[in-house]
Chains A and B, each alone.
Chain A
């Protein structure tokens, strides 16, 4: 359990900079998700924390001590891979004991701790099985027990839920959260699944092209995206980008590439280049006022419907709750849409 700090961390493969000067602080006991598309440098970052990769520059601190020179086997980290990487020739028990044996723990103590770890992940009954006799979810739990039993300073999870099927994955997310809260270990969790990151994390770090796009609580990241990339990567978003031509009464007119549009937003400076981000679920249909448009397309998905509304210069995506049965919107309808001006997230200078 420790505080982890990454300072000016950079990693290059040849001329390709995979991780570009990132700075990050994970407080003691927090679960930090590193989220991003494949190739964004998230796994490399994790592997540098683990010690599998040497950073080209920058430093990593566990509780204020630099671990740069420490070999992997002296770092005291717990690691869970996407493939689980259970030793196929050992039983569940032997797998979990392995790390303790390396630490020269007395055999009686190993037994006690292994049992504790296995009961933490509800796998006591399977202690004598070989990995191939377990299901994916069960292997996952064993891998987690193996990583936790050594009481690591940091726990590193590399896409560890993505090999499970959807239903099991959601179950494991909840359980993982519970287990990690119980143990209180500082955890880094690499994933490309935004929903998973949202559910699990205290802090989300969004990475793209080797750089950190934004770092914050799931709420911050979703409600107050700092960049166009973050907004687009996490959930759906409407973008309004261009130069401000007029701004009064919290109605801002922007000259976008496709024409002028007036949207509800807090007043802005005239002539400023600006990007507004509006989440589709913040948008509502009104009987009059707001922006006039025509519904081009409706996708019904049970609890919600997603409507594409053509508002002249731009198509706006709106998500409406199907709170009453019966069709609330259909293709070809002329509608007025509106939202609260504070829901327009402003990013200066565009992208």
Chain B
């Protein structure tokens, strides 16, 4: 059994993945150790450049901070929604579920574009706010960090809703009843029983929001303009504006490291709540 011939049919997929995913990353790694000034040979100057300039370090900090904000906001709005879906809505929950999933199947750029139109000066949000008297004058929200965060939360929070919902849905309702019968208040039941048991869902939600946020560049660029600079947009600029490809490759690897480290950290956190 140890060399079953039938396993050969996995090779087309494995070869494709190695040639077009693993190998290019190795080339990128190689590039990140090359100079952009044309000199040939191994150098760590790209990495040194990144870590010695405060601009880049600040940028890294900002990217992580942004992703954290997006994750926290997503958690705050997703948990109640998932809880309501799992425990309160009966027939309606499937409809709400479909409504949560549908945006996954609308184009990412269409969604970003729709926020652009919605938030722009002279757009609908502005006229609504002006006509209700909440605001007087231009809204000025587009091309700010706020706009980027609104757009990123919109793009990623549904993942969180789904993972938390599934954790809550799986949970045996008699656990809640037992907790009450043992004398716990609704609040204690939530903090001691419901929330800890839903933790695996929360953790996978965090993973599915935080990690893609780190590597986002479309939303920050379009909704944030000059205020939306994050690692992703800087990498893109290195490749298409500045032509510092090797430096770009180095930053890309630093981003990749951030992604992998945060994934490892989050799943380690998840192990603690493993049931």
Closest to B193 in A: A87
Stretch of A72-80, A119-127, A236-244 contacting B (4+ beta carbons < 8 Å): A72-80
A50 touches B181 (CB 8 A): yes
A99 at the interface (CB under 8 A from B): yes
Q: Assess whether A102 is in contact with B182, with CB atoms less than 8 Å apart.
A: yes
Decide: B181 and A79 in contact? CB cutoff 8 A: yes
Give the docked Cα–Cα distance between A87 and B178 (Å).
Answer: 9
Contact of A98 among B184, B185, B196 (CB under 8 A): B184
Given the known A-B contacts A74-B183, A150-B183, are A81 and B197 also in contact in the complex, defined by CB atoms under 8 Å?
no
Q: Are A150 and B182 in contact (CB under 8 A)?
A: yes
Within 8 A of B (CB), among A78-132: 78-79, 81, 83, 85, 87-89, 98-99, 102-103, 130, 132
- B181 near A102: Cβ-Cβ < 8 Å: no
* Interface membership of chain A positions 179-194, coded 1 if the CB is closer than 8 angstroms to chain B and 0 otherwise: 0000000000000000
Q: Tell whether, in the assembled complex, residue B174 and residue A102 are in contact, meaning their CB atoms are under 8 Å apart.
A: no
Q: Which chain B positions have C-beta within 8 A of A88?
A: 197, 275
CA A52 to CA B183, docked complex, whole Å: 13
CA distance A7 to B181 in the complex (A): 22
Q: Is A146 an interface residue (CB 8 A)?
A: yes
CB distance from A159 to the nearest CB of B (A): 11
List, in ascending order, chain B residues with CB within 8 A of A87's CB.
175, 178-179, 193, 197
Q: State the total of A-B contacts with C-beta under 8 angstroms.
A: 67
Q: Are B183 and A76 in contact (CB under 8 A)?
A: yes
CB-based nearest B residue for A130: B275
B94 interfacial contact with A, CB 8 Å: no
Q: Judging by beta carbons under 8 Å apart, are A85 and B177 in contact?
A: yes
Q: Is B183 a contact of A73 with CB atoms below 8 Å?
A: yes
A:125-161 near B, CB below 8 Å: 130, 132, 146-147, 150, 156
Given contacts A98-B192, A102-B188, A132-B275, contact A85 B183 (CB under 8 A): no
CB distance from A79 to the nearest CB of B (A): 4
B182 touches A98 (CB 8 A): yes
B241 proximal to A (CB < 8 A) = no
Interface size bracket, A side: 20 to 34
How far is A89 from B188 in the complex, measured between Cα atoms in Å? 15
Kindly report which residue of chain A lies nearest to residue B273, judged by CB atoms: A89
Is A85 touching B172 in the complex (CB atoms < 8 A)? Answer: yes
Which partner residue on chain B sits nearest A76 by CB separation? B183
Measured CA separation A86–B223 after assembly (Å): 48
Q: Which residues of A contact B185 (CB under 8 A)?
A: 73, 102
Across the interface, do B183 and A83 meet the contact criterion of CB distance under 8 Å?
no
Query: Does B180 reach chain A (CB closer than 8 Å)?
Result: yes
Which of B179, B183, B193 touches A103 (beta carbons < 8 Å)? B183
Return the chain A residue nearest B171 by Cβ.
A88
Distance, CA A250 to CA B180, complexed state (A): 59
Known interface pairs A85-B177, A85-B178, A89-B197; A99-B183 also in contact (CB < 8 Å): yes
> When the two chains form their complex, are residues A83 and B182 in contact, meaning their CB atoms are under 8 A apart?
no
Beyond the given A72-B177, A85-B178, please list 9 additional residue pairs across the A-B interface where CB-CB is below 8 A.
A51-B181, A52-B177, A75-B181, A85-B177, A87-B179, A98-B184, A102-B183, A130-B275, A146-B182
Could you jot down 29 A-B contacts, CB within 8 Å?
A51-B180, A52-B177, A71-B180, A73-B180, A73-B182, A73-B184, A75-B181, A76-B183, A77-B181, A79-B181, A81-B177, A83-B172, A83-B174, A85-B172, A85-B175, A87-B179, A87-B193, A88-B197, A88-B275, A89-B196, A89-B197, A89-B273, A89-B275, A98-B184, A102-B182, A102-B185, A102-B188, A146-B178, A147-B181
